[in-house]
Amino acid sequence: MLFDTIRAIRWENDHLYLLDQRRLPQERHTLECTQVTQVAEAITQMVVRGAPAIGITAAYGVVIAARMRYAQAGKPWKTAIAQDIDLLARTRPTAVNLFWALEHMRELIAHLPEDQDPVAALLHLARQLHSDDITANQHMGRLGAELITAGAIILTHCNTGSLATGGFGTALGVIRQAYADHKIAKLFADETRPWLQGSRLTAWELVQDNIPVTLIAEGAAAFLMQQQQVQWVIVGADRITANGDVANKIGTYGLAVLARQHGVKFMVVAPTSTLDMSLPEGAAIPIETRGESELLQLGPQRLAPAGVAAWNPVFDVTPAGLIDAIVTERGVVTQPDRQKLLAMMQNSVN
């Protein structure tokens, strides 16, 4: 039993359906997308979030755009769809899976005849990317769980499960597998401010799958480690650079520093589509900054006094030197560096 029942992205009856993660856990609402602008808005407004899920959603967005553009008489659909792909590419700058998925769609479009209806071929590819992500996550789950010894206490950050991927999850996939293997004594999830992905999403997802979890405030993580209550911190990634630096949800870097101080192992779990070998190091990663309102208010309720400014970076960068293992569907890299990551990528191709 793999404790995996949630699917946030569905393609049914030629429409894209997204579980609206802004409304969880109070309401389980599905958004139907029939226009590419709706898909772009859903990504921007975090109806869907998590790097793999963003890429898969964007791929389905290209399918929706292709259907619309091919139906427009008298206009070459390839020229028209380029602007739709550009629209999707502008939605979230940090998650490299977005650009990876769109590039796959672009490559296929380049090989399709202008006079051929492209929808079936593009839909087949989008579905393949979706299916491949789930398969990769399940394999990463097995690889990561092998690193964990029985009786482990684990802390995770943000949401890296089925809500953030095509299904099963990255870091949460390892946790799912380790729980199924009876290796987890206790699981902690931090709240993950300001969007509270830990308390709203990770906790909800784990409750749905009957995996016990205990929430903590971010500020409690240091004390928890000092009390020797954590053996592993397990997180996902939105982009990994060639030297092994990792961009992930804001707060990840702080956890990595705390883990190193307290002798706690730190694991990053992400598909190789998250690995950006074109960037030499984490300093080159574009870091998205979102609106002040996410910090200054909670929903419609303002928390901070008028006149207060806020800085709201969505991601931070954890140096490779603080990471004990990067787990991908192509293998595990311990104490990651440029040479090890390059060797993994080359070996997987050969």
Nearest residue to 188 via CA among 101, 259, 119, 257: 259
User: Which strand (E) or helix (H) includes residue 18?
Assistant: strand 15-19
Distance CA 130, CA 8 (A): 11
Adjacent-strand bridge partners of 30: 19
User: Which strand (E) or helix (H) includes residue 66?
Assistant: helix 51-71
Q: Are strands 239-241 and 275-276 parallel, antiparallel or unpaired?
A: parallel
Of the residues 84, 238, 276, 316, which is catalytic? 238
According to DSSP, residue 149 is labeled: P
322 — phi, psi (to 5°)? -100, 5
User: Which strand (E) or helix (H) includes residue 110?
Assistant: helix 96-111
Residue that the structure tokens 């998205």 belong to: 288
User: Does 132 qualify as catalytic in the annotation?
Assistant: no
Both tokens of residue 80? 């028209």
Q: Dihedral sign, CA of 71, 76, 78, 84?
A: negative
Active site residues: 238
